[in-house]
């Protein structure tokens, strides 16, 4: 596909929010980018990965977000403009290293981009509001509302960072990252990629008593940023009446359109610099108002700030926000319009509740379509074999990756999911206090990201019933879009490197290890039975490539993926292939209403893994013979 | 002016690429474009509701379409047209449905049978100004060797009927830059669809 992100100055193109962030960084002359992928932020590193060589900047997929943050810090300390990006939970991983860098500050501009995920479109854990981190770590935070602002504010964040020698957060949400919008491009700046670290105890020595000096310097920076940028970055859109709207991020876009739909024209205050929020800006906006509605997703951070300021600036002000809108899930026009209806006493033409009722009635008994492991996925085969050996009673620890979909019917083999690598850590505690069989699943990318210390701990504190760790190794970070990791054999710049073998690492961590072909039920079951009887730390590596990549490789070579079909004579309609194995390419359909169901394989989506052939008790599934084959 | 398109289908069907095609065509014509792609977990065989909105910058700002407000709904998988009724209403919305089923495993797992095409249409009717049904995936497989070209055929169909207020030339240009590897087949697919759409229009 054409890379609009590299189009020339002055052009108007349609960009994804994440692409616009990359363009903003390019226009700021970013020279060093390090990241671990995490959706909804994943297209930021993916875009950098595609263009890094062409533009001449350094890009890497780091082994985790903390490592990425640290690497970018090193570059920014050495005078090269640097950036790191992650999803909200990724920032939790990086969090340990951020506060000291807030104290020391940086030399070149350093932007820390973070993507929250209200409604959890791409996440399984929580709807964490990362704006709290800006307050806890005392760092400035900018929030764009649309792709154009993604470009503008990323660029500005670099300047702000460099001017005050402070890392700057660029905070987004899913509907910013994954929204598209028209963007007018500026000029790409040739990146500076070489620098030099200068020793400077006054800047980097953060032990007592100098620590307090650094802390006071940080306080002073924030004061100056609020003073200089509070009025400049935040905007008032003047309007009519005594009721005002205060908003930021994507909520601004909803507010704008909802007000137009309702024919209302109140003044709107848009907060772009959401930390530190300008007291004078808010104070000026609220002083002549009777009421305000604060529109922000998740936590009432702006709202609480307005309440605090109103005590002095306008004690009689009525402040609405989370009294009318939820603290969970995301906003949209259907949520914002009813809140505006209530405050302005105006009725909108469409009754959303009534419409929703009609939709529910039309959707009655509609076959659900939840996400599911892809046809041909090696994880399905591994789950199937593990359940054969360990049964329904064993505890199955989940983790973060495609295999999280093993939580759904009919697999049901992710009894809990905490965070990257946590399945192994939590299993250790269960193994110590109970005598239950525990199997902890972890992906290859997650293994390198956060699982190694937990496995090491099995070896160190080798007590109780040690869980079996199953590494689902497809040699790529598949869930977020096939990014490489230390075991993949190539870097984010596309350079070949010697892949790190997971079995070598596992052995060094002190665990016994077996490797099986993920697409062979026989091999898997043998390896699992062998490991089941072993005491002490043990790891099965179930190895098989992501079939989506296999398909791509086949296509590139002009080869056809082998497809399979069901012999209707042999099929006894036992349903194991659909109800237990549950490959989405296998379809059970009734041709005549009330008639006998027929099982068949959809050739449009079958990816030819051939595992169904192995699990069919009747031997009814076989490869489709090409013409001329016997 | 404001025009709201919803595209819906199943992860892996190429819905997102089609969104980019339409967005680029609208951009070529100087419209302000907004929209949203919902991937992540949903991409793995789940539903992918996707939006493209274009018009004046003043009127278009939310990335998603409001409930009951789509002008045009393209359902690349038939059953998903029913779930898309959330975004439709009788006075406003035209449905164009690909008569193609990807039966979810939940049909057999929970024993909730997949709906017949006539039942799908019966359920959509109260939300639709008009409903058009085409077998574009079958046509893609038949004429171009892959069901995935059904997407571009469908874009051709809606352009041919006159349901998508964008010019053929802009769409062609957008297709060329969006699918350079399969450009020839996608252009063929678009033209196939155009012809189908024009026939439909003259038959009215």
Q: What is the CATH number of the domain that holds A437?
A: 3.40.50.970
Instruction: Tell me how close the Cα of B163 comes to any Cα of chain A, in angstroms.
Output: 22
Give me the total of CB pairs closer than 8 Å, taking one residue from chain A and one from chain B. Answer: 207
Mean pLDDT, residues B107-125: 91
Whole-angstrom distance, CA of residue A248 vs CA of residue A232: 15
Q: Which chain A positions have a beta carbon within 8 Å of B61's beta carbon?
A: 146, 253-254, 256-257
Q: Which residue range(s) make up the domain with B104?
A: 2-203
Mean pLDDT value across residues A435-445: 97
Same domain, A50 and A182: yes
Residue A64, phi then psi, degrees to nearest 5: -160, 180
Shortest CA gap A145–chain B (Å): 10
Judge whether A280 is closer than 8 Å to chain B, CB to CB. no
* Rounded Cα–Cα distance for residues A28 and B203 (Å): 56
Residues A512 and A581 in one domain: no
Q: How far apart are CA A484 and CA A186, in angstroms?
A: 31
> The dihedral of CA A146, A152, A158, A159: what is its sign?
negative
- As a whole number of angstroms, the distance between CA A404 and CA A400 comes to 6
Question: Per-residue pLDDT averaged across A460-479, rounded?
Answer: 93
Tell me whether 0.95 is exceeded by the ipTM.
yes
Q: What are phi and psi of A344, to 5 degrees?
A: -95, -5
Closest in B44, B47, B85 to A373, CB measured: B44
Mark whether A220 and A264 lie in a shared domain: no
B-interface mutation test, from A42, A369, A380, most B Cβ less than 10 A away? A369
Check residue A200 and report its DSSP letter.
-
Say whether B41 and A355 touch across the interface (CB within 8 A). no
Shortest CA gap B202–chain A (Å): 32
**Mapping DSSP to helix (H, G, I), strand (E, B) and coil, where does residue B198 land?**
helix
| pLDDT averaged over every residue in chain A | 95
Q: Please report, for the domain that includes residue A284, its CATH number.
A: 3.40.50.920
Are A180 and B63 in contact (CB < 8 Å)? yes
CB neighbour burial string for A556-584, b if at least 16 within 10 angstroms, e if fewer: eeeeebebbebeeeebeeeebbbbebbbb
Instruction: Give residue A450's pLDDT.
Output: 96
Q: Which long-range contacts (CB under 8 A, 24 or more apart) does A44-48 make?
A: A44/A18, A44/A85, A44/A113, A44/A177, A45/A85, A45/A483, A45/A492, A46/A481, A46/A483, A47/A5, A47/A18, A47/A19, A47/A22, A48/A22, A48/A492
In this complex, the residue of B104, B147, B177 whose CB is nearest that of residue A604 is B147
Contact B46 A582 (CB under 8 A): no
Render pLDDT for A253-291 as a digit per residue (tens, 0 to 9).
Answer: 999 999 999 999 999 999 999 999 999 999 999 999 999
To test the contact with chain B by mutation, choose from A6, A17, A182, A348 the residue with the greatest count of B C-beta atoms within 10 A, namely: A182
A457 in the same domain as A423 = yes
Structure letter (DSSP) for residue B47: B
Clarify whether residues A489 and A611 are in a common domain: no
- Give yes or no for A146 touching B (CB within 8 A): yes
The nearest alpha carbon in chain B to A352 belongs to B67
Tokens 């665990």 sit on residue? A511
**Residue A627: pLDDT above 80?**
no
**A602 and A462 in a common domain:** no
Partners of residue A449 on adjacent β-strands: none
Looking at residue B40, its pLDDT comes to: 60
Task: Write down the pLDDT at residue B85.
Answer: 98
pLDDT at A626: 61
CA angle A564, B42, A50 (to 5 degrees): 90
| Residues contacting A208, CB < 8 A, separation 6+ | none
pLDDT single digits (tens) A359-386: 999 999 999 998 899 999 999 999 999 9
Rounded to a whole number of angstroms, the distance from the CA of B195 to the nearest CA of chain A is 25
The number of domains in chain B is 1
pLDDT of residue B106: 86
Q: Residues A575, A579, A584, CA angle at the centre, nearest 5°?
A: 105
Query: Whole-angstrom distance between the N-terminal and C-terminal Cα of chain B?
Result: 26
pLDDT at A505 exceeding the cut of 60: yes
Residues A545, A404 within the same domain: yes
Is A630 among the domain residues?
no
Judging contacts by C-beta atoms under 8 Å, the chain A residues touching residue B105 are: 372, 578, 582-584, 586
The answer on A520 and A411 residing in a single domain is yes
User: Which residues lie across from A270 on neighbouring strands?
Assistant: A235, A247
Mean pLDDT of A594-601: 88
CATH number for position B139 = 3.40.920.10
More confident residue, B42 or B52: B52
For β-strands A468-473 and A438-443, DSSP reports them as parallel
CB contact under 8 A, B38 and A352: no
With an 8 Å Cβ cutoff, are A260 and B63 in contact?
no
* 8 Å CB contact of A358 and B27: no
**Could you tell me if B112 and A368 are in contact, meaning their C-beta atoms sit under 8 angstroms apart?**
yes
- Looking at the structure, tell me whether residues A254 and A218 fall in a common domain: no
Boundaries of domain holding A278: 234-350
CA A164 to chain centre: 30
The rounded distance, in Å, linking the Cα atoms of A493 and A512 is: 34
Interface contact A556, partner B, CB < 8 A: no
Entry field: residues in chain A? 630
pLDDT in tens, A375-419: 999 999 999 999 999 999 999 999 999 999 999 999 999 999 999
CA of A166 vs chain B CAs: smallest distance (Å): 32
Helix (H, G, I), strand (E, B) or coil at A430: helix
Q: Contact A178/B36, CB-based, under 8 Å?
A: yes
Q: A182 CB near a chain B CB, below 8 Å?
A: yes
Whether A159 and A11 share a structural domain: yes
C-alpha distance from residue B134 to each of A626, B127, B198 (Å): 30, 19, 13
Same domain membership, residue A97 and residue A112: yes
**Mean pLDDT, rounded, for A552-567:** 91
Smallest Cβ–Cβ distance between A122 and the set B12, B41, B80 belongs to B41
* Helix locations, B29-182, DSSP H: 80-83, 106-109, 117-124, 136-144, 150-161, 168-178
Angle of helix A17-27 relative to helix A147-164, nearest 10 degrees, comes to 40
Preferred mutation among B108, B138, B141 to probe A, highest tally of A CBs within 10 A:
B108
A579 close contact with B: CB closer than 8 A: yes
- Tell me, yes or no, whether A363 lies in a domain: no
Instruction: Please tell me the distance from the alpha carbon of residue B7 to that of residue A381, in angstroms, as a whole number.
Output: 33
Residues A80 and A222 both lie in one domain: yes
Per-residue pLDDT tens over the stretch A45-84: 999 999 999 999 999 999 999 999 999 999 999 999 999 9
Phi and psi angles of residue A408, each rounded to the nearest 5 degrees, phi first: -90, 165
pLDDT average, residue stretch B134-140: 97
The count of domains in chain A is 4
Sign of CA dihedral B20, B26, B29, B31: negative
Q: Give dist(CA A475, CA A472) in Å, integer.
A: 9
Nearest to A34 by CA among A6, A3, A74: A74
pLDDT at B42: 55
Burial of A591 (0-12, 13-18, 19+ CB in 10 A): exposed
Residue of B148, B166, B155, B164 lying closest to B196 (CA atoms): B155
pTM (2 decimals)?
0.97
Question: Looking at A489, A522, A552, which one is the last position of a domain?
Answer: A552
Integer-rounded Cα radius of gyration of chain B: 16
Length, in residues, of chain B = 204
Give the gap in angstroms from C-alpha B123 to the nearest C-alpha of chain A. 5
Has residue B94 got a pLDDT over 50?
Answer: yes
Q: Any idea which residue has 């909804």 for tokens?
A: A40
3-state secondary structure A378-409: HHHHHHHHHHHHHCCCCEEECCCCHHHHHHCC
Query: B185 and B144 in contact (C-beta within 8 Å)?
Result: yes
Which residue in chain A has the smallest CA separation from B61?
A253
The DSSP secondary-structure symbol of A496 reads B
Tell the residue number behind the tokens 């269960």, with chain if given: A430
Q: Please state, for a pLDDT cut of 70, what percent of chain A lies above it.
A: 99
Q: What is the mean pLDDT of residues A143-172?
A: 98
């Amino acid at each position: 596909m054409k890379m609009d992100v590299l189009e020339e100055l002055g052009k108007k193109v349609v960009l994804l929010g994440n692409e616009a962030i990359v363009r903003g960084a390019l226009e700021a002359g970013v020279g060093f980018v390090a990241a671990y992928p995490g959706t909804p932020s994943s297209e930021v590193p993916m875009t950098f990965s595609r263009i890094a060589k062409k533009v001449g900047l350094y890009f890497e997929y780091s082994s985790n977000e903390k490592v990425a943050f640290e690497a970018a810090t090193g570059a920014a300390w050495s005078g090269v403009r640097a950036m790191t990006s992650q999803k909200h939970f990724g920032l939790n991983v990086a969090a340990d290293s951020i506060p000291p860098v807030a104290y020391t500050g940086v030399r070149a501009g350093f932007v820390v981009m973070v993507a929250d995920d209200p409604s959890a479109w791409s996440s399984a854990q929580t709807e964490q509001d990362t704006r709290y981190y800006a307050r806890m770590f005392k760092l400035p935070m900018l929030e764009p509302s649309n792709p154009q602002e993604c470009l503008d504010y990323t660029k500005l964040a670099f300047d702000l960072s460099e001017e005050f020698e402070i890392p700057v957060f660029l905070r987004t949400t899913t509907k910013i990252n994954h929204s598209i919008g028209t963007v007018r491009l500026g000029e790409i700046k040739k990146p500076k990629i070489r620098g030099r670290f200068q020793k400077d105890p006054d800047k980097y020595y953060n032990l007592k008593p100098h620590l307090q000096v650094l802390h006071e310097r940080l306080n002073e920076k924030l004061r100056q940023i609020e003073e200089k940028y509070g009025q400049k970055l935040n905007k008032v859109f003047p309007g009519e009446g005594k009721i005002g709207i205060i908003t930021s991020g994507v909520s601004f876009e909803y507010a704008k359109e909802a007000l137009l739909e309702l024919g209302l024209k109140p003044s709107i205050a848009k907060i772009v610099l959401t930390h530190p929020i300008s007291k004078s800006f808010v104070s000026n906006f609220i002083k002549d108002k009777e009421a305000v509605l604060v529109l922000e997703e998740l936590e009432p951070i702006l709202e609480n700030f307005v309440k605090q300021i109103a005590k002095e600036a306008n004690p009689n002000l009525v402040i609405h926000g989370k009294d009318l809108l939820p603290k969970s899930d995301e906003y949209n026009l259907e949520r914002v319009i009813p809140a505006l209806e209530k405050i302005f006493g105006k009725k909108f033409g469409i009754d959303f509740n009534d419409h929703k009722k009609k939709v529910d009635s039309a959707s009655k008994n509609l076959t659900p379509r939840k996400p599911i492991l892809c046809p041909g996925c090696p994880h399905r085969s591994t789950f199937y074999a593990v359940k054969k050996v360990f049964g329904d009673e064993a505890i199955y620890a989940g983790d973060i990756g495609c295999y999280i979909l093993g939580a759904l019917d009919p697999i049901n083999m992710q009894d809990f999911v905490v965070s990257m690598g946590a399945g192994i850590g939590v299993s250790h505690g269960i193994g110590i206090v109970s005598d239950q069989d525990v199997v902890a699943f972890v992906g290859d990318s997650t293994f390198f990201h956060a699982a190694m210390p937990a496995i090491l701990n099995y070896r160190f504190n080798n007590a109780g019933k040690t869980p079996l760790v199953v590494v689902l190794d497809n040699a790529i970070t598949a869930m977020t879009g096939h990014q490489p990791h230390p075991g993949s054999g190539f870097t984010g710049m596309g350079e070949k490197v010697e892949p790190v073998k997971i079995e070598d690492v596992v052995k060094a961590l002190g665990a016994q290890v077996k490797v099986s072909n993920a697409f062979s039920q026989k091999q898997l079951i043998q390896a699992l039975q062998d490991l089941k009887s072993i005491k002490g730390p043990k790891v099965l590596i179930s190895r098989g490539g992501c079939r989506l990549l296999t398909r791509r490789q086949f296509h590139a070579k002009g080869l056809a993926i082998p497809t399979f079909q069901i012999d209707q004579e042999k099929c006894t309609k036992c349903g194991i292939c659909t109800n237990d194995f549950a490959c989405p390419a296998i379809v059970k359909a009734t041709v005549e209403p009330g008639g006998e169901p027929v099982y068949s394989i959809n050739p449009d989506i079958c990816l030819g893994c051939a595992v169904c052939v192995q699990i069919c008790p009747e031997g009814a599934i076989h490869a489709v013979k090409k013409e001329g084959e016997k | 002016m404001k025009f709201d398109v919803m595209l819906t289908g199943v992860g892996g069907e190429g819905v997102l690429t089609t969104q980019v095609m339409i967005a680029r065509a609208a951009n070529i014509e100087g419209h302000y474009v907004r929209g949203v792609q919902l991937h992540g977990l949903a991409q793995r065989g789940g539903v992918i509701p996707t939006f493209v909105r274009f018009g004046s910058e003043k009127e278009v700002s939310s990335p998603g379409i409001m409930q009951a407000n789509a002008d045009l709904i393209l359902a690349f998988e038939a059953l998903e047209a029913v779930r898309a009724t959330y975004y439709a209403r009788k006075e406003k919305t035209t449905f164009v449905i690909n008569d193609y089923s990807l039966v979810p495993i939940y049909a057999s797992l929970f024993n909730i049978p997949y709906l017949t095409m006539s039942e799908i249409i019966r359920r959509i009717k109260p939300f639709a100004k008009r409903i058009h049904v085409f077998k574009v995936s079958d046509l893609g497989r038949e004429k171009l060797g892959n069901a995935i070209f059904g997407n571009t055929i469908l874009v051709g169909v809606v352009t041919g009927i006159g349901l998508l207020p964008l010019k053929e030339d802009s769409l062609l240009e957008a297709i060329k830059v969006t699918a350079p590897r399969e450009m020839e087949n996608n252009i063929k697919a678009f033209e196939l669809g155009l012809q189908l759409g024009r026939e439909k229009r003259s038959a009215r």
